[in-house]
Structure 1
Amino acid sequence: MSTHLSRPSYAAVLRVPHARRAFTAALTARLSYGTVGLAALLSVTGATGSYAVSGAVLSLFGATTVFLMPLRASLIDRHGPRRALLPMSALYAALLCALAALTWRPGAPAPLIAVCAALAGACAPPLGPTMRALWSELVTDRDVLRRAYSLDGVAEELLFVSGPALVGALTAFTTPAAGILLSAFLNAAGTCFFVTSPALPGPRAGSGGRKPAAGRGLLPPVAVALGVGLALSGAELLVTAFATERPHGTALVPWILGALSAGSALGGLVNGAVRWRTPARTRLHRFAAALGLVIAAAGFAPGLWTLTGAMALAGAFVAPALTTAYLLADEAAGEGARTQAGAWVNMGVNAGSSGGMVVAGLLIGRMPLELCFALTGGTALMSAATAVVAAAVGGRAAGTAGAAGAGAAAPCRSR
């Protein structure tokens, strides 16, 4: 099921046998994660009349979705995507339908809504890590794989931009709970088409001798993903605070954040198109450090247009950093643990996104905005430093192990 492309391009990536169908199906299912957040926020708020309750419900949903993702991914590695994804998606869709029913009209008990949302998050199928693991099965050329990961990352960025817009259009005609039903339908339908794709490997007999994800090798990509998530979410809140201090600045906030997303998409496409000579481990910490430096410098922007340019430049390092993190996680994983390795990176960036907003909220008003930007950028710089140290330690450990095992046959990892 492996393909080597002599002239890699984004179009060539989609010409890999069966890749287009699997990728389209996975994106359809993943669009559910772009629509469900806003739909749940609006419907729970309408049903309970409390933003505090809706915030708590979304926090529970996000926590179970993010922190249980490696566990769900390990089930996919153990049993194969055909066997594991369908039950997860069926439960996820059923629980979202129950959540929609509970919030269709006011009056449902808040604890029951919270439990339903938490259970739904616990069942959310990790389609992003699964698709990236599938790319590594379909493609052997590392340059082509990097381009496939870049395409995947840019597409995911667009899903999280278009998802809320889709919910907004839907709620103009019906209740917000219909957006939750839409999220359930997208996930179930997309997953069904995905698992029937000929691109997926056949059923797995068992975990057997498959190696777990390499913990030490995963530390640099997970650390960078965490730092990127912290820096990004903190910067979004700081941009809002920066804009509100300027006349008519609030109206420009969506455009400034849109520049961040556009910069990320463009950076991802360029990263996939360039034939890098620098090793991926070096690129990883350089991208993270560049992101941190630009965000730190953005606090000194003299006006909103300068800040917009700074955010676009910061975004240009986001997708490359995350794409490189996923590539390194794939390299660090054992043959039967690629989905789980990708899920750890995914968990890192999402956990960072949750924490960064909280930390930035605590800093704003207590410190000058310039210092807040500097500290937020510092989280990405710290993650870059962690990646450098971890890579150095891992390299020394690998060298020691290699010396100790001299004369023994080197293990071969089949692609």
Structure 2
Amino acid sequence: MYSYAHVLRVPHARRTFAAALTGRLSYGIVPLSLMLAATRASGSYAVAGAVMALFGATAVFLSPARAALVDRYGPRRALVPTAVAYLAVLGLLTGAVARPDAVPSPVLGALGAAAGACVPPLGPTMRAVWGRLAPDRALLQRAYSLDGVAEELLFVSGPLLVGVLVGFAPPAAGIVLGAALMAVGTAAFVSSPAVRAVPPGKRAVRRRDGGGLRGLGRPMTAVAGVGLAIGVVDLLVVAFAEGHGHGGASVAWVLAALSAGSAVGGLLNGAVAWRAQAGTRLPPLTAALGLALCGAALAPGLGTLAVAVAVVGFFVSPTITTAYLIADETAAPEARVRAGAWVNTAVNAGSTAGTAAAGALAGRLPVGLCFALTGAAVLVTAAAVTRSARRGTSELVPLA
């Protein structure tokens, strides 16, 4: 029986993981810093929102393309150029937002889109490296769970660091900090012996197995439902709190309960020696998440909503981790980074759709009904994953 200590005792694991986390902390710092800096520079929330939308869109939807570079050329030859380009664009953004009204809004938007397009795919690459460091499936499950929980904590701590930083420095300083973390983390990551040992892949060709990406339909469907839930919960908690006369501090506590539940669920999921295969576990985990959302619809007050949201979070990390395991099992060796990137893209796309749906429905329907409808939508995705598993079908994913 493996523990999390076994994961960190794997040769080169601690060094490689720490380097990847250092760079990935930039993911939690740069977006908020960029939004605050763009707001200050332009004096317009609309402009800042457009810059962030462009940054997020290119970062998310071009992630498989960047991952394909890693699969094709290897981590060192792919990550270094993308990191250099990313840092260069962040430098231009820092200079642009440092001079209010000196840079036209379209230029800010173009720079935001360029920055998102160049974000180094440290997360998918680290998960692929875990597959080499921990070939045993039980050990890999723990590695993925540890990775997922750590990444979630980075996305929580990053904005907190920005909040502290803007107390004594301009928001552009957060962009500089994020760039520095990415530079240090990427340099340390690609210099790790575990990363240096990863060979370049084969040139991707269009073939009947989807370029080595066959079998991603089920995990992507499931995590799209998870992303939908995350996007909806974030906005509905705000609407619920305002409807019950609570302020922003209360919202923060409820969303913290979501993250805490996800961390606990992820760690417990990784610690269990599952007898069932990952493909068998995925549908019930997704269904449990949907049922938890339906339970949140019955919350009479903010305290009970926090408990219900924590239960929702309890199934978030295990579902995503299980989806990554399936992606790693089904993808060809030369396509593992892309496989992880496609799963990550599905989560983010679902979250974006969830936020948009919640924004459209929250003002027209009771918040409880919105929770119930979201839960029903996630249950539908669980049913679709179950049907796909029973038929043994494996959808093809477009070649990136």
Q: TM-score, normalised by structure 1?
A: 0.91
Instruction: Pick one of 20, 23, 26 that aligns with 2:20.
Output: 26
Identity of aligned residues (%): 57
Instruction: Pick one of 346, 349, 357 that aligns with 1:348.
Output: 346
Q: 1:208 to 1:55 in 2, by over 3 A?
A: closer
User: Is the aligned partner of 1:183 residue 2:181?
Assistant: no
> How far does residue 233 in structure 1 lie from its aligned partner after superposition?
1.1
Contact 1:94/1:184 (8 A) holds in 2: no
Instruction: Output one character per residue of 1:353-372: Cα deviation in whole Å (capped at 9) or x when no partner.
Output: 11111110000121122221
User: Is the aligned partner of 1:37 residue 2:31?
Assistant: yes
Q: Write the distance in 2 (CA, Å) between the matches of 1:207 and 1:288.
A: 34
> How far does residue 389 in structure 1 lie from its aligned partner after superposition?
2.1
User: Is the aligned partner of 1:200 residue 2:198?
Assistant: no
Instruction: Output one character per residue of 1:214-267: Cα deviation in whole Å (capped at 9) or x when no partner.
Output: 444100111111110011110111111111111335431111110000000000
1:13-412 equivalences in 2 (<5 Å): 13-107=7-101, 108-202=103-197, 204=199, 207=202, 214-248=212-246, 250-394=248-392
Q: If you compute each CA radius of gyration, which structure gives the higher value, 1 or 2?
A: 1
> How far does residue 14 in structure 1 lie from its aligned partner after superposition?
0.5
Greater CA drift, 377-386 or 51-60: 377-386
Q: Write the distance in 2 (CA, Å) between the matches of 1:325 and 1:364.
A: 30
Contact 1:89/1:125 (8 A) holds in 2: yes
Q: Write the distance in 1 (CA, Å) between the matches of 2:287 and 2:254.
A: 21
Query: One-letter code of the match for 1:313?
Result: V
Query: One-letter code of the match for 2:80?
Result: L
Instruction: Output one character per residue of 1:36-92: Cα deviation in whole Å (capped at 9) or x when no partner.
Output: 111011000000000011111100000000000001101100110011000001101
Superposition CA RMSD, Å:
1.7
Contact 2:72/2:204 (8 A) holds in 1: no
Structure 2: 5+ residue runs without aligned partners?
Answer: 396-400
Q: Write the distance in 1 (CA, Å) between the matches of 2:335 and 2:210.
A: 5
Q: Write the distance in 1 (CA, Å) between the matches of 2:246 and 2:52.
A: 30
Residue 405 of structure 1: aligned partner: none
Contact 1:79/1:203 (8 A) holds in 2: no
Contact 1:65/1:121 (8 A) holds in 2: yes
Contact 1:263/1:313 (8 A) holds in 2: yes
Report runs of 4+ in structure 1 exceeding 6 Å deviation: none
> How far does residue 205 in structure 1 lie from its aligned partner after superposition?
5.4
Secondary structure of the equivalent of 1:21? helix
Query: One-letter code of the match for 2:215?
Result: G
Instruction: Output one character per residue of 1:356-405: Cα deviation in whole Å (capped at 9) or x when no partner.
Output: 111100001211222211111223212212211222233599xxxxxxxx
Q: Write the distance in 1 (CA, Å) between the matches of 2:49 and 2:164.
A: 22
Structure 1: 5+ residue runs without aligned partners?
Answer: 1-6, 398-415
Contact 1:213/1:341 (8 A) holds in 2: no
